[in-house]
């Protein structure tokens, strides 16, 4: 005899729109609690395909179905089953339908699914020679084109997806491929008004810098955008002297000649400092860092820093700069 939950899951495939709507609303509610998630997990074989089918329906059923899948995908076991059944392909297909109204939820679903290695491989389309990287290219284009000034920013969670894929070597190589120019597009979002976007950008840059030994040239190809993205968050709040600014690229010097909003998120500051450290471990990277008067910026930024973890990242970088052979310590001039 079928249990109440079994019947509920079966109602998701009811020919009656009213019954389906009621069932998916109840399922969404159950996924909001740990007990509900555990209970529904027992019926994943039927539940997940049923919810996936509803994603292509009208908003009244697609939205609660998407919310339920986002909640369910927090369970790594269920997330793995979703990837196995092709959920990433389905999400990408629906995400780019003209009449899609659940883009934000689908992006959140992709964040959870790419926490898994198999999810990253699926999104990268690993093994599909002609299609490999197409999904990521579409997501980057949408991430960079959508306005974070809009009332709802459906693609801001893509920043977190990019962080996830850049944790893997294959993802980093794709983003750093100069022919695709993906990282260059991403970096230019560093000054977004969306904290979620900024964190996604900083995390992605930092992860890509783990390839600095073999990909330094590709990183430095975008130095016009890369150095401001890395240095402005850790430059402190002071207005820099003309003597300091004249040794910097115009975009960086101009930004440091005026009062600035501080970067409140310490994680972004740590990620920026770690990225600079990884670049500066390479001789050419260190020269590039000195060429933009980077050590001076680090010195001034450290003076304003109060967060212990961020101070530790400054100190790690400062120690490396001091110990690097053939380099000089930053001067001790004060900024105006």
Note the pLDDT of residue 146. 66
Distance CA 46, CA 84 (A): 14
Mean pLDDT (the chain) is 92
pLDDT tops 80 at residue 298:
yes
Note the pLDDT of residue 260. 87
DSSP code for 120: H
Q: Using one digit for the tens of pLDDT, what is the confidence trace for 126-159?
A: 988 789 899 999 999 999 986 555 567 889 999 9
Note the pLDDT of residue 151. 64
| Residue among 73, 66, 78, 70 at smallest CA distance from 102 | 66
Q: Using one digit for the tens of pLDDT, what is the confidence trace for 160-171?
A: 999 999 999 999
Note the pLDDT of residue 153. 85
Q: Using one digit for the tens of pLDDT, what is the confidence trace for 40-90?
A: 999 999 999 999 999 999 999 999 999 999 999 999 999 999 999 999 999
% pLDDT > 70, the chain: 94
The model scores a pTM over 0.85: yes
59 to 21, 72, 150: CA distances (angstroms):
10, 19, 20
Note the pLDDT of residue 134. 95
């Amino acid at each position: 005899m079928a249990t109440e939950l079994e019947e509920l899951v079966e109602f998701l495939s009811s020919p009656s729109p009213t019954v389906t709507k009621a069932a998916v609303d109840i399922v969404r509610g159950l996924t909001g609690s740990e007990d509900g998630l555990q209970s529904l997990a027992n019926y994943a074989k039927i539940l997940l395909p049923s919810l996936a089918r509803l994603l292509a329906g009208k908003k009244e059923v697609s939205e609660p179905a998407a919310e339920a899948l986002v909640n369910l995908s927090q369970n790594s076991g269920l997330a793995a089953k979703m990837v196995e059944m092709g959920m990433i392909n389905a999400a990408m297909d629906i995400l780019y339908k003209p009449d899609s109204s659940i883009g934000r939820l689908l992006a959140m679903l992709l964040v959870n699914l790419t926490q898994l290695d198999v999810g990253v491989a699926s999104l990268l389309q690993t093994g599909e020679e002609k299609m490999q990287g197409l999904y990521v290219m579409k997501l980057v284009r949408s991430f960079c084109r959508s306005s974070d000034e809009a009332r709802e920013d459906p693609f801001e969670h893509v920043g977190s997806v990019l962080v996830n894929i850049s944790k893997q070597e294959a993802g980093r190589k794709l983003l750093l491929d100069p022919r695709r120019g993906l990282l260059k597009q991403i970096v230019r979002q560093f000054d977004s008004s969306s904290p979620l976007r900024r964190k996604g950008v900083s995390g992605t840059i930092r992860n890509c810098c783990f390839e600095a030994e073999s990909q330094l040239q590709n990183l430095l190809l975008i130095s016009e955008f890369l150095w401001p993205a890395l240095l402005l968050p850790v430059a402190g709040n002071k207005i820099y002297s003309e003597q300091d600014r004249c040794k910097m690229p115009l975009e960086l010097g101009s930004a440091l000649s005026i009062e600035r909003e501080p970067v409140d998120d310490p994680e972004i500051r740590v990620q920026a400092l770690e990225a600079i450290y990884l670049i500066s471990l390479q001789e050419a990277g260190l020269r590039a860092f000195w060429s933009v008067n980077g050590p001076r910026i680090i010195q001034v930024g450290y003076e304003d820093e109060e967060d212990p973890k961020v101070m530790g990242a400054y100190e790690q970088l400062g120690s490396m700069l001091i110990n690097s052979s053939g380099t000089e310590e930053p001067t001790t001039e004060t900024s105006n």
